[in-house]
Amino acid sequence: MLAKIFKKILYVVLGIFVLLNIMAAFHAHKFTHFYAGIPKAKKPEEMTALEKTSAIFFGNKFAKSKVVDSFTIAHQTINLVTADSMQLESWYAKADSNIKGTVLMFHGHGSSKSGMIVEATAFHQMGWNVLLTDFRAHGNSEGEVCTIGANEAKDVKAAYDYARALGEKNIVLYGISLGASTILTAVDHEGIKPEKVILEMPFGTLVDGVKGRLRMMHVPEQPMSTLLAFWGGVEQGFWAFDHRPQDFASKLNCPVLLQWGLNDPRVTQDETNTIFKNLASHDKLLMVYARSGHQSLLKNEQAKWMSTVGSFLN
Do 286 and 250 fall within a single domain?
yes
Considering the domain boundaries, does residue 68 fall inside one?
A: no
Do 132 and 229 fall within a single domain?
no
The amino acid present at 57, given as its one-letter code, is F
Considering the domain boundaries, does residue 169 fall inside one?
A: yes
Is the separation of the CB atoms in 228 and 18 below 8 Å? Answer: no
Measuring CA to CA, which residue among 199, 206, 263, 266 is closest to residue 231? 206
Each residue's pLDDT, cut to its tens digit, for the chain (314 residues) gives: 677 887 888 888 888 888 888 888 888 888 888 988 787 766 555 667 777 667 767 777 888 988 998 999 999 999 999 999 999 999 999 998 889 999 999 999 999 999 999 999 999 999 999 999 999 999 999 999 999 999 999 999 999 999 999 999 999 999 999 999 999 999 999 999 999 999 999 999 999 998 988 887 677 778 878 988 898 888 888 899 999 999 999 999 999 999 999 999 999 999 999 999 999 999 999 999 999 999 999 999 999 999 999 999 99
Measuring CA to CA, which residue among 30, 75, 14 is closest to residue 236? 30
Considering the domain boundaries, does residue 234 fall inside one?
A: yes
Is the separation of the CB atoms in 89 and 134 below 8 Å? Answer: yes
Do 170 and 223 fall within a single domain?
no
CATH number at residue 251: 3.40.50.1820
Considering the domain boundaries, does residue 190 fall inside one?
A: yes
Do 230 and 197 fall within a single domain?
no
Do 177 and 235 fall within a single domain?
no
Do 196 and 270 fall within a single domain?
yes
Strands (E), the chain: 34-35, 62-63, 76-81, 87-93, 102-106, 129-133, 171-176, 196-200, 256-261, 284-289
Do 176 and 27 fall within a single domain?
no
Considering the domain boundaries, does residue 172 fall inside one?
A: yes
Considering the domain boundaries, does residue 164 fall inside one?
A: yes
Do 55 and 78 fall within a single domain?
no
Q: Rounded to whole angstroms, how far apart are CA atoms 37 and 75? A: 27
pTM for this model (two decimals) = 0.91
Do 88 and 154 fall within a single domain?
yes
Q: Rounded to whole angstroms, how far apart are CA atoms 294 and 266? A: 7
Relative orientation angle of helices 224-236 and 206-216, to the nearest 10 degrees:
120
Do 103 and 201 fall within a single domain?
yes
Considering the domain boundaries, does residue 161 fall inside one?
A: yes
Is the separation of the CB atoms in 67 and 115 below 8 Å? Answer: no
Do 181 and 283 fall within a single domain?
yes
Q: Is 173 helix (H, G, I), strand (E, B) or coil?
A: strand
Q: Rounded to whole angstroms, how far apart are CA atoms 128 and 140? A: 24
Considering the domain boundaries, does residue 306 fall inside one?
A: yes
Is the separation of the CB atoms in 195 and 254 below 8 Å? Answer: yes
State the pLDDT at residue 225.
86
Bridge partners of 307?
none
How many structural domains are present in the chain? 2
Angle, alpha carbons 110-26-217 (nearest 5°): 55
CB atoms within 10 A of CB 280: 13
Q: Is 115 helix (H, G, I), strand (E, B) or coil?
A: helix
State the pLDDT at residue 52.
63
Do 168 and 55 fall within a single domain?
no
State the pLDDT at residue 95.
95
Where in the sequence is the domain holding 184, given as residue range(s)?
Answer: 73-205+243-313
